Structure 1
Amino acid sequence: MNTIIAFIFMFGLLVFVHEFGHFIFAKRAGMLVREFAIGFGPKVFSTKRSETLYTIRLLPLGGYVRVAGEDPEIIDLKPGQHIGLEFTPTGKVNKIIVNNKSKHPNAHVIEVEHADLDHRLIIEGYEIDESDKLQFEVDRKAVFVMDENETQIAPYDRQFASKTIPQRAMQLFAGPMMNFLLTIFIFAVLGFIQGIPTDEAIIGDVLQGSPAEDAGFQAGDRIIKIEDNPVTTWEEFQMIVQENPEQELAMTVERANEQLELSVVPNRVETKDMEVGQIGVQIELEKSIIKSIPYSLERTYLMAKLILVSLANLVTGQFSIDMLSGPVGIYDATNQVVQTGFMNFLSWTAALSINLGIINLLPLPALDGGRLIFVGLEAVRGKPIDPQKEGIVHFIGFALLMLLMIVVTWNDIQRLFL
């Protein structure tokens, strides 16, 4: 149960932060945000506030912010179509009844000849069996009513395409950016709560039953010399110990303003690449709000670098697609991390957050990076790519991503259950 709660919290947080970035910058640019969704597939929960429908959907595969004009509009009035109109007290159209007009007995039914709901905001047409053409002015916040569901119209100045290139680029980049900021924030919190490793050769903790405990080392001891070689940093101390497994080392330590001579024999420990010496001590940790910021930036940078190297290895074939993990694999890994404590769970959340940000910036169709490519091409060409062609590219890209997700999930299931 703890794992389920942790996974839902983690997934919800990562997707919410990502989509909130898209949402807030769309709002700031004046775009009409139709839906803010967590998950894909059938709706589990929905509520509408102002112009936006907020939904939680069944499949935990991500989320989306649906901005008017970013994808083709679902409803389009055609010549000859019969629609019903309802009006504001000032005479402007505020409801356009697309079907089920019998449920709206007060609606004024017309046959459409022409409709411009992008720029002029008018509908022209005829009353049934009449020849006199009528023109109706449409309110900027009028809604379509189809199957008794309301969808607000989007004048051109509220659509994605109407905004400047920097505004559109920022709206697309804002999702990954928020994931990077979340990672930095989590690492800063961890750095302040747990402490930040100091660079000095000071022992923070001595493990029970270790060679260091047997030799008499204590927390707070400062290593001054090893075999008459001066030591000033933890890296120097660690390197000497690692290079001398099962070799007695004479060390000079400072404790309570006194110098002591201690001898220790590092254990021989096997790693992936070599055998190293270890004496069972941990570095001293310092709690500092100020230092936690550069510490979190450094950890975020190193993690981003590791992810980019892994992606490069995947492209060059050094990393197999079978090693990728989908939701099932992430859930299993989360289960293992949860067992090790809340702090490790936070660190895992930070790692997934920056991973989500980087993956979304890849120049692949349907991802934020793919959409940014089209915005960049428009900046270079001086005119936009045909929206229908761009839509087809993103649709194909999304379908391929879903196929990849299915393959990865199947691999996860085979690893865990078969």
Structure 2
Amino acid sequence: MTVIIFLIILAVLVFFHELGHFVVAKWSGIRVDEFGLGFPPKVFGIRYGETLYSLNLIPFGGFVRIFGETPEELVSGVTSTPDSLIAKSKWTQALVLIAGVTANIILAWLFLSIALGVGVPMSVEGVPASAIVEDIHLTILTIVPGTPAAKVGLKTGDQVLLLTRAGEELVPTSAKQAINFISTSGDGLSIKVVTSKGETVDYRVKPEMGLIAGAPNQPALGVILGQVGTVAFAWWQAPWQAFKMTISLTKLTVQGLGHLAVQAVQGLATLDSVTGPVGLAGLVGDARTLGLAYLLSFVAFISINLAVLNLIPFPALDGGRLLFVLIESIKGSPIKPRIANILNLIGFVLLLSLMFVVTWHDISRLL
């Protein structure tokens, strides 16, 4: 069921991305030859007007074939055809290219609006006073890899119910209270949690020193704790709060991608920082167990990531094509079709190779 839900989510995200290109192209008077979900080989297609609507076998993607967008069409002389992309102004070309990213951002905002209207689990720190907050629990927000918490099997999202050491028990009501208890439990303690699947589990763990910067002698488990509750807003407030959250998540995604790029240049990046289709399918399964609202908010996050990734100025991505348009605007003439073809082919091969490597890494983590 998780795989089916993931494929449906992927289809929806790709559909709206390509719909953005499609709508703006049509609005600009550009002919669209094909609107396809998935990549060929084609399963079936239906022609309506000038456009072929197709369903293809490989589900990880989609495309809109716009008249006059390929280098070959430039050579064939479609620049004189008024309904071709190449015949339009550079501003119009840029609008068509950026429309897919815009559609993904709008979709994320819609999903977050629904999720915040229903109520979604999130940290209650900094939540506006107008929010409706229920069912607050002390929750593990982050686990540092390789620390005692990670080694015993504690997971992000586990709700902390009870801490026990040498016959002394504590039902923590704040992160500070729990951290003080843990830091004075040098001989180890037991942690009772409720997992994201609703199971109650006891973990025996011994804190270690040297995990906290600035406090090397303080025993710690390697977790960040926080109060998490179900946060909802009135229907007229949810869209505005969703808009602010969309902007915030977009900024965080850009910052995270920039940090990953810097690490890659420095040779410090690892595949543990990247998740492919298999890993995303597992995360979708985890999100599904927390309810529809949480799943919608997670899908919104994926949609924002898809938008940001597509804006990277790399051949075969929307950002790469935007870069071509910018270069052509500066130089006053089109990029040679042969060069554009080679760059797009290299970009496409590299993207497929990266997807294969990341997918293999995701699978290896499951084995």
TM-score (norm 1): 0.62
Structure-1 residue corresponding to 2:356: 406
Partner of 1:371: 321
- Answer whether contact 2:174 2:226 (CA < 8 A) is retained: no
Q: What is the RMSD computed on CA atoms of the aligned residues?
A: 3.8
Q: Report the alpha carbon displacement of residue 118 of structure 1 after superposing the two structures with TM.
A: 4.5
1:224 corresponding residue in structure 2: none
**Could you say which residue in structure 1 is the equivalent of 2:97?**
172
Q: Of 282, 292, 313, which residue of structure 1 is paired with 2:238?
A: 292
Query: Secondary structure, in 3 states, of the residue corresponding to 1:43?
Result: strand
Q: Write the letter of the residue equivalent to 1:37.
A: G
Opposite residue 296 of structure 2, the aligned amino acid is L
> In the superposition, relative to structure 1, how do residues 238 and 277 fare at CA in structure 2: closer, same or farther (>3 Å)?
farther
Matched, 1:33 2:32: yes
Q: Is residue 108 of structure 2 the alignment partner of residue 183 of structure 1?
A: yes
- Tell me how far 1:323 sits from its aligned partner: 3.6
Counterpart contact for 1:25–1:171, Cα < 8 Å: yes
1:246, distance to aligned residue in structure 2 (A): 8.6
Deviation of residue 45 (structure 1)?
2.5
Q: Secondary structure at the match of 1:340?
A: coil
Could you tell me how far apart the structure 2 residues matched to 1:284 and 1:25 are? 38
Judge conservation of contact 1:34–1:66 (CA < 8 Å) in 2.
yes
Unaligned runs of 5+ in 1: 77-115, 120-154, 216-236, 248-268
| In structure 2, distance between residues paired with 1:277 and 1:351 | 23
- For residue 57 of structure 1, what is the amino acid of its counterpart? N
Q: Does 1:395 align with 2:345?
A: yes
1 or 2 for the larger relative contact order (CA 8 Å, sep ≥6)?
Answer: 2
Alpha-carbon contact 1:22-1:174 (below 8 Å) kept:
yes
CA distance in 2, matches of 1:58, 1:313: 35
Please name the residue that 1:65 is paired with. Answer: 64
1:157 alignment partner AA? P
Letter in 2 for 1:292: A
Q: Distance in 1 between matches of 2:291 and 2:181?
A: 31
Of 300, 310, 314, the residue aligned with 2:260 is: 314
Range moving further from structure 2, 339-348 or 178-187 = 339-348
Q: 1:161 aligns with which of 80, 86, 90?
A: 86
- Counterparts of 2:78 and 2:4, CA distance in 1: 45
Alignment of 1:50-61 (within 5 A): 50-61=49-60
Alignment of 1:37-116 (within 5 A): 37-73=36-72
Alignment of 1:13 with 2:30, yes or no, is no
Amino acid in structure 2 at the alignment position of 1:403: S
- Percent of aligned pairs with the same amino acid: 34
Deviation, 1:163, is 0.4
Which one has a larger percent helix, Structure 1 or Structure 2?
Answer: 2
Q: Tell me which residue corresponds to 1:361.
A: 311
Measure, in 1, the Cα distance between the counterparts of 2:160 and 2:175.
Answer: 22
**Do 1:25 and 1:174's aligned partners in 2 also have CA atoms closer than 8 Å?**
yes
SS of 1:27's equivalent?
Answer: helix
Are 1:60 and 1:327, in contact at CA under 8 Å, matched by a contact in 2? Answer: no
Q: Which has the larger Rg?
A: 1
Distance 2:269 2:246 in 1: 22
**Secondary structure at 1:385 match in 2:** coil
Aligned twin of 1:229: none
2:263 paired with 1:338: no
Assess, with a 3 A threshold, how the Cα gap between structure 1 residues 243 and 41 changes in structure 2: closer, same or farther. Answer: same
Map 1:109-124 to 2 at 5 A: 118=78
Q: Contact 1:40/1:63 (CA < 8 Å) preserved in 2?
A: yes
Describe how 1:260-299 pairs up with structure 2 within 5 A. 285-299=231-245
Hey, what does 1:138 align to over in structure 2? Answer: none
Structure 2 gap ranges (5+): 138-158, 163-168, 184-205, 213-219
Distance in 1 between residues matched to 2:112 and 2:136, nearest whole Å = 25
| Cα distance in 1, alignment partners of residues 133 and 52 from structure 2 | 55
Deviation of 1:337 after TM superposition, in Å, equals 2.3
Please report how far the alpha carbon of residue 270 of structure 1 lies from its aligned counterpart in structure 2 after TM superposition: 8.3
Distance 1:24 1:312, change over 3 A: same
1:344-366, CA deviations, whole angstroms, 9 ceiling, x for partnerless residues? 22122111101100000000001
TM-score (norm: length of structure 2):
0.70
- Rounded Cα–Cα distance in structure 1 between residues aligned with 2:35 and 2:347: 21
Number of residues of Structure 1 aligned to a counterpart in Structure 2: 300
Specify which structure has the higher proportion of strand.
1
What whole-Å deviation, never above 9, does each CA across 1:67-111 have from its counterpart, x for those lacking one? Answer: 11111458x9xxxxxxxxxxxxxxxxxxxxxxxxxxxxxxxxxxx
